[in-house]
Amino acid sequence: MSRVRKAAGYRGRYLDAPQHGEVRVRLAACGSVRTTSIAWKARGAAYEKHSQCWYNGGVTLVVIGGPTEERVENAVRAFEAAGFRRASAIAEDLKQGNIVVPLRVGAAEILKQADDRGILYALVHHGPDDRIKDGTYARAHHRVEAPELIELARRLGANQKMLVTCVAFAFKEGIPKDSAFVVDARCLDNPYWVDDLRDLDGRDPRIAQFVLDQREAMVLLDSLCTMLGALLPAYRARGRMELTLAFGCTGGRQRSVVLALELARRLQARGDLDVGVELRELEQR
């Protein structure tokens, strides 16, 4: 059985999905997916250069900023506890491994110098807005508070896998928060209208067969896999280590569940991702 990692902030249990032997399904006990706070935004060409990539040649370079020196130091210590090595300055000749560099408050010009030299890094801002124009809050790939630091450090470490969570939901109950992609499964025939299938959910092999036998379902899944194959490296290059894909249908129990499980199975088979599944409406039953 393949291992599927919980998303940050989750309490729950794993259950086997009988028709999808490669993936474990988590029926969590607490609401919608909560991912590590990711606050990267494209803010024009001035920031595009520094956000191209933060991982290069076995080196993860993380720069820590914050509104106070205490905030910066606390964040650096959290990264050190996760195995990062402290360096005093952003440099081009850093050796292989996980490296964290504290940035003094108001020293955003150092980031511009690093950008001009082509140094690749991830920028983490710990705490509230520093209210400095083009400061670390404005430029940050990640804006976090203390409880999120250890998990973020773990996710940013060199050779860590990206976490992709596939969520099944009902549109009538609202789209899951923080979804990067929302897929509408209502384009598919609904097994609910088949008397023998009405009371079953998408974990049942009969529902899976009904849905996956539809040509449109295969086109949808194949297209998603192709798209993600191209986009996931770009997300990772910009410091985003967690991504949520949400599949919606009318009741959130059949079509969306099948698609979420099948995409999770395909992604897990790649071997370079951690994959999670949440069946939101089923966990509330």
| Helix 255-270 vs helix 215-237: crossing angle, to nearest 10 | 50
Instruction: Of 2-6, 98-102, 203-207, 251-255, give the lowest mean pLDDT range.
Output: 2-6
Written in H, E and C, the secondary structure of the chain is: CCCCCCCCCCCEEEEECCCCCCCEEEEECCCCCCCCCCCCCCCCHHHHCCCCCCEECCEEEEEEECCCHHHHHHHHHHHHHCCCEECCCCCCCCCCEEEEEECCCCCCHHHHHHHHCCCCCEEEEECCCCCCCCCHHHHCCEEECHHHHHHHHHHHCCCCCEEEEEEEEEHHHCCCCCCCEEEEHHHCCCHHHCCCCCCCCCCCHHHHHHHHCCHHHHHHHHHHHHHHHHHHHHHHHCCCCEEEEEEEECCCCCHHHHHHHHHHHHHHHHCCEEEEEEEHHHHCC
End of a domain among 144, 171, 198? 144
1 is a domain residue: no
Q: In this structure, are 275 and 230 located in the same domain?
A: yes
Q: What is the number of domains present in the chain?
A: 2
Can you give the residue range of the structural domain that contains 138? 45-144
Nearest Cα residue to 238 out of 126, 162, 154: 162
Per-residue pLDDT tens over the stretch 212-233? 999 999 999 999 999 999 999 8
Model-level pTM greater than 0.95?
Answer: no
pLDDT exceeding 70 applies to what percent of the chain?
76
Q: What is the pLDDT of residue 202?
A: 96
207 is a domain residue: yes
Q: In this structure, are 171 and 248 located in the same domain?
A: yes
Other CB atoms within 10 Å distance of the CB of residue 216: 12
Alpha carbon distances (Å) from 77 to 46, 64, 141:
30, 11, 19
Could you give the maximum distance between any two Cα atoms of the chain, in Å?
Answer: 68
Q: What is the pLDDT of residue 98?
A: 87
Q: Which residue has the higher pLDDT, 257 or 121?
A: 257
Q: What is the pLDDT of residue 92?
A: 63
Q: In this structure, are 260 and 184 located in the same domain?
A: yes
Q: How confident is the model at residue 44 (pLDDT cuts 50, 70, 90)?
A: very low
Q: In this structure, are 246 and 165 located in the same domain?
A: yes
231 is a domain residue: yes
Per-residue pLDDT tens over the stretch 118-161? 888 889 999 999 999 889 999 998 999 999 998 888 888 766 78
End of a domain among 99, 116, 144? 144
Indicate the average pLDDT of the chain.
79
Q: In this structure, are 119 and 176 located in the same domain?
A: no
Q: What is the pLDDT of residue 93?
A: 64
Q: What sign does the CA torsion over 110, 112, 117, 121 have?
A: positive
Measured distance CA(92)–CA(114) in Å, rounded: 9
Q: In this structure, are 181 and 275 located in the same domain?
A: yes
The pair of structure tokens assigned to 198 is: 């009405």
End of a domain among 115, 144, 173? 144
Q: In this structure, are 30 and 63 located in the same domain?
A: no
